[in-house]
Every structure is written in C-alpha cells, then in structure tokens.
C-alpha cells in the first residue's frame, strides 16, 4: 500500500462537492476537529446543486447548538422562517387536512400514553379533536410563534438552501476550512488497498487526502462510480421519481408550517421564507407525464416567478454501504427519501454527527461496520414513516393511490400499523428520529383508528377525566393566545438582509 492504508493516520479530510451536504460537513468537521485535521472542500461553480431541501425538522437546531451557530445570524442570512409542523392536505380522502406538529400532545401517564385517555374522552363525549392538546399544533394553525421562557416550543426552520450553504461556507472557512474550485476529472485509488488517495481536477491539480467524503449528489462519484458500492432501490414502496421546483415571490406573510398538498399522482410543497416561497411538485413518472405534471404545478402556484421551474430526477433508496474503505457518502450520494417529512437535511446531519462520534485516528473495519449499521437503521425508520403517509389512505380515485393503498409493506412498518390499529399503542426505539407522538398524529390523521385502548383511563370517572382533558386544552389555548403573529415576531428577532449568494 502506497499512499493510504488501514494504518494511515487521518490528518487530511477531503470533501468532494459543496451544496448543503458538503458545507454542513465542512462546517462541522472544521469547527469540531479543525485543530486536528485539515479540511478541504472541492467544488465547481459549473456544477449545480439540487438545492431544494429548504424545510427542516427540529434536529437542525441541535446541530447548530453543537457548532455554536447563532440562531439570529443564521436565520437572517438564510432568510429563515419558523416551522412548527407540516400541513398534510388531501392525504386521507382528497378533501381533508391535518397537521403533523413537532410538539408533544397532552400528558402521558407512566402506564399509558395520552392517546388512550383521549380515546376514552372521545367515547364519553368529553374530548375535543386530538390537535386541541398540542401547543405547537395550535400555534401553527393560528400563525403564531415566539421563544417562550418556561414553555419552549419545539420548532424547526424554513431556509434558502443556497444562502444556507453560503453561510456555512463562511463559517467553515473561519474555522480553517479550505475551499478549492475545480471540476473533478479522476478519482485516484491505491492499487493494493483500493483506498482513495486523491482527486484530480480538470486543470491538473491533485488534492490528496486520508479520508474522503462524497457529497457529489446523485452522481455518487466516489462511493458509487469509483468504489462500486451498489444501491438498494425502494421505488416499489416510494413511487415518486421526479420533481419540479420553482421559486416565487411571497404574496402574504409566511405561515409557520410547510404545506404538503396531495395530487393525482404525488404531491406539492409550499415552503414560505421571509423573501420568497419555495414551490415544488413530486410525482411518479409512471402515473403522470412530465408535461401534465408541469401544467398541474404551474396552475397552482401564486406570486411572480423568481426562478424558472427546474426538473429533478431521482431514485428512492439507499447505498448498500455509506462508508466504504476511506470514503463516507453524505447526502444524496448515500441515500434519497423524498422530502415529504423534510428529512433530507436531517439525514445529512445524522451522517455527519455519527462520523464525528466515531471519527478514527486510523480507519478500522469494525468502526465502519457500526457506522453503516446505525445509518441503515435510521434510513429504514425514516423510509417506513414516509411510506405510512401513502399506504394509510382512503383514496382510490387514481391508479396511483389505489396502488399505494394496496401495496405490500415492509414488515417493520406493517407491525407498527397493526399494533396501533389493534391496541392504540406505539413504541419508540432509542435513537429513532420520529417519536410516539409523530406516529400517532400521522396515523390518526390518515384515518387509522385504534380498535381498543389501554384500561388505565377507566379508573377515572367522567368528572375527573373531563377536568384532566379540559385543563390541558385550556393551557394550550392560553399559551397560544399569548404568542405574537409569526412574522411580526421574526421581523423583530431576525430581519433578513437582501439575499447575497457566494
């Protein structure tokens, strides 16, 4: 072995590709390990990025706290707004709406979750809709938000992906990260070990490294094309394989939630930022041709067009191994699960954090195996949660909806659905992204009603149960009523400057 081997100390980290994935990796590694390793990111201005992962989930706030990123600075730079959840419109019957919020609902007892007490209350005519018992959900419906002392709301962000990458680029460079401009024309490997040794650029420059991070998107230039790691296709569960994205001017104040609007053969997103709206349609090309999708999409958007529609083709699934030899795939090079639950940036973050936690002095296969096992588990969990939205539906109005409603499910998902339908019970495995309340909100919203419940609420009489539920509902209403309008608050907290892209 000449340049790189299993015993080569990790001193040079080379990131292939920029965008959100590349610059998140560069920001985290340079901030946490910048005094130990040299971080170099290679990207070409000639190669575009997908750049449509503009809705996030609360884990991004945790990522920023780990890196000591100031929230006000980040939100102002990325034209950010607050996200308290996702409004799912038309997913159950075509005419319905529910919100999957980021908050907790009601109060659990050690013996049984709140949903059992709510179910008992519904039986006795003592309970309102499930949404009445969650502050984040009621605040989303009322278009309200603030940072509240003693009663913090659980929230995420809407952000401009291009501006966010630029913000992280400056952050990384301030902590010693180095950017190299250039198109990668060759990936050099060691003839004995097969490890990657360097990237050759179009102008002849050679960037050597000890650990390489593949952020080249769907091309998977390092992990796929060079190291030959295969891809597991999930398109039999996730039919959508195309998207069209477009930016428009805002015609009203931003609401604190993402909209996911079900269509004939897919769905559309609406992501409101301070200065514009991100719009898109995600669909199955086997059920809707590109021109029909574009026409349906353009007929529904509001505001003036800022950036013309641009198409994205993708294949849902995951790389068989996201860490192979001395290469780690982060972002689209490693996996893609459509953006229905805004997990794209989270999965980037999870890959980075797991890498930092297991960062090697020298590479060992046992560490690679553990990294891959943890990421596989997370990807399976996220996949199942997204598939749930399609399968648990009463819609049969198009061949698309008929197929997803009747398709065989992964065993892991079928078990969760059967358990909730039969017993009203959900479970959370430590480390999983989506907690019990997320599964409950979506399953109830999609029409899965438990056939039985836990007997613990039967120990409460009607008066006691009514008081218990009523006190929670009044507290939710009182907190929500004290919150200011979402955009009024943001105009004071983090007014966005005019967009300046790197």
Same domain, 221 and 256: no
Q: Does residue 371 have a pLDDT over 60?
A: yes
- The SS3 assignment for 46 reads coil
Same domain, 204 and 265: no
Q: Is residue 200 part of a domain?
A: yes
Are the C-beta atoms of 208 and 42 separated by less than 8 Å? Answer: no
How confident is the model over 113-130, as a mean pLDDT? 97
Task: Give the strand order in the sheet containing 317-319.
Answer: 231-233, 317-319, 335-336
Are the C-beta atoms of 387 and 411 separated by less than 8 Å? Answer: no
Task: Give the residue from 280, 313, 346 where a domain finishes.
Answer: 313
Q: Is residue 178 part of a domain?
A: yes
447 C-beta neighbours (distance < 10 Å), count: 14
Q: Does residue 55 have a pLDDT over 50?
A: yes
The per-residue pLDDT of the chain, averaged, comes to 94
Q: Is residue 38 part of a domain?
A: yes
Same domain, 273 and 169: no
Same domain, 66 and 173: yes
pLDDT digits (tens, 9 = 90+) for 125-179: 999 999 999 999 999 999 999 998 877 899 999 999 999 999 999 999 999 999 9
Looking at residue 360, what is its pLDDT?
86
Looking at residue 268, what is its pLDDT?
97
Same domain, 110 and 195: no
Looking at residue 47, what is its pLDDT?
66
Q: What's CA 133's distance to the chain center, in Å? A: 25
- The SS3 assignment for 235 reads coil
Per mean pLDDT, which range of 1-15, 306-320, 415-429, 488-502 is the poorest?
Answer: 1-15
Catalytic residues: 83
Q: Does residue 4 have a pLDDT over 50?
A: no
pLDDT digits (tens, 9 = 90+) for 431-480: 899 999 999 999 999 999 999 999 999 999 999 999 999 999 999 999 99
Task: Give the residue from 263, 284, 313 where a domain finishes.
Answer: 313
**Using CA atoms, how far apart are residues 234 and 383, in angstroms rounded to an integer?**
9
Looking at residue 495, what is its pLDDT?
95
Looking at residue 499, what is its pLDDT?
55
Are the C-beta atoms of 64 and 259 separated by less than 8 Å? Answer: no
Q: Does residue 52 have a pLDDT over 70?
A: no
Q: Is residue 60 part of a domain?
A: yes
Q: Does residue 184 have a pLDDT over 50?
A: yes
Q: Does residue 3 have a pLDDT over 70?
A: no
Per-residue burial over 193-223, b if 16 or more Cβ lie within 10 Å, else e, is bebbbbbebeeeeebebbbbbbbbbebbbbb
Are the C-beta atoms of 409 and 417 separated by less than 8 Å? Answer: yes
21 C-beta neighbours (distance < 10 Å), count: 32
- Grade residue 78 by pLDDT with cuts at 50, 70 and 90: very high
Query: DSSP string spanning 302-342?
Result: -S-EEEEEEEEE---EEES-SEETTEEE-GGGTEE--GGGS
Same domain, 336 and 372: yes
The boundaries of the domain holding residue 306 are 242-313
Looking at residue 53, what is its pLDDT?
60
Same domain, 257 and 341: no
Same domain, 322 and 436: no
Q: Check which CATH number belongs to the domain holding 327 and give it.
A: 3.50.50.60
pLDDT digits (tens, 9 = 90+) for 93-107: 999 999 999 999 999
Quote the number of domains for the chain. 3
- Grade residue 183 by pLDDT with cuts at 50, 70 and 90: very high
Same domain, 257 and 172: no
Q: Does residue 45 have a pLDDT over 80?
A: yes
């Amino acid at each position: 072995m000449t340049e790189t081997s299993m015993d080569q100390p990790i001193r040079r980290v080379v990131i292939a590709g920029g965008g959100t994935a590349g610059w998140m990796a560069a920001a985290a590694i340079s901030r946490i390990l910048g005094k130990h390793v040299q971080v170099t990111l290679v990207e070409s201005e000639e190669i575009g990025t997908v750049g449509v992962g503009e809705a996030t989930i609360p884990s991004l706030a945790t990522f920023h706290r780990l890196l000591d990123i100031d929230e006000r600075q980040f939100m102002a730079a990325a034209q950010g707004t607050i996200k308290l959840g996702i409004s799912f419109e038309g997913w159950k019957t075509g005419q319905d709406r529910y919100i999957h919020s980021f908050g907790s609902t009601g109060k659990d007892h050690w013996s049984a979750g709140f949903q059992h007490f709510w179910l008992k209350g519904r039986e006795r005519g003592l309970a309102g809709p499930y949404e009445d018992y969650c502050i984040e959900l009621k605040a989303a419906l009322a278009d309200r938000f603030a940072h509240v002392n003693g009663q913090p709301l659980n929230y995420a962000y809407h952000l401009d992906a291009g501006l966010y990458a630029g913000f992280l680029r400056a952050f990384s460079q301030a902590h010693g990260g180095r950017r190299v401009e250039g198109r990668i024309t060759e990936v050099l490997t060691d003839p004995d070990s097969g490890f990657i040794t360097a990237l050759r650029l179009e102008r002849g420059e050679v960037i050597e490294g000890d650990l390489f991070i593949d952020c080249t998107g769907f091309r998977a230039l390092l992990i796929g094309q060079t190291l030959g790691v295969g891809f597991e296709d999930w398109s039999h569960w996730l039919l959508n394989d195309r998207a069209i994205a477009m930016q428009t001017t805002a015609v009203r104040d931003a609401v604190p939630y993402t909209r996911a609007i079900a269509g004939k053969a897919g769905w559309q997103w609406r992501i409101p930022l301070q200065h514009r709206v991100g719009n898109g349609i995600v669909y199955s090309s086997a059920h809707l041709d590109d021109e029909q999708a574009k026409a349906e999409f353009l007929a529904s958007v509001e505001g003036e067009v800022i950036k013309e529609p641009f198409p994205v083709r993708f294949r849902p699934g995951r790389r068989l191994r996201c860490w192979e030899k001395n290469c780690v795939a982060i972002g689209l090079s490693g996996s893609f699960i459509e953006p229905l639950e805004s997990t794209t940036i989270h999965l980037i973050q999870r890959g980075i954090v797991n890498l930092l936690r297991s960062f090697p002095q020298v590479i060992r296969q046992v560490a690679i195996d553990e990294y891959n096992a943890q990421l596989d588990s997370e990807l399976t969990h996220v996949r199942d949660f997204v598939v749930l939205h399609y399968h648990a539906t009463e819609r049969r109005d198009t061949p698309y909806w008929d197929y997803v409603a009747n398709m065989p499910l992964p065993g892991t998902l079928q078990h969760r659905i059967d358990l909730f339908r039969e017993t009203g019970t959900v479970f959370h495995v430590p480390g999983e992204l989506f907690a019990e309340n997320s599964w409950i909100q979506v399953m109830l919203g999609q029409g899965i009603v438990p056939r039985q419940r836990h007997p613990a609420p039967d120990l409460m009489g009607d008066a006691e149960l009514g008081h218990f539920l009523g006190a929670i509902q009044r507290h939710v209403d009182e907190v929500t009523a004290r919150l200011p309008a979402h955009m009024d608050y943001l105009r004071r907290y983090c007014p966005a400057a005019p967009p300046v892209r790197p």
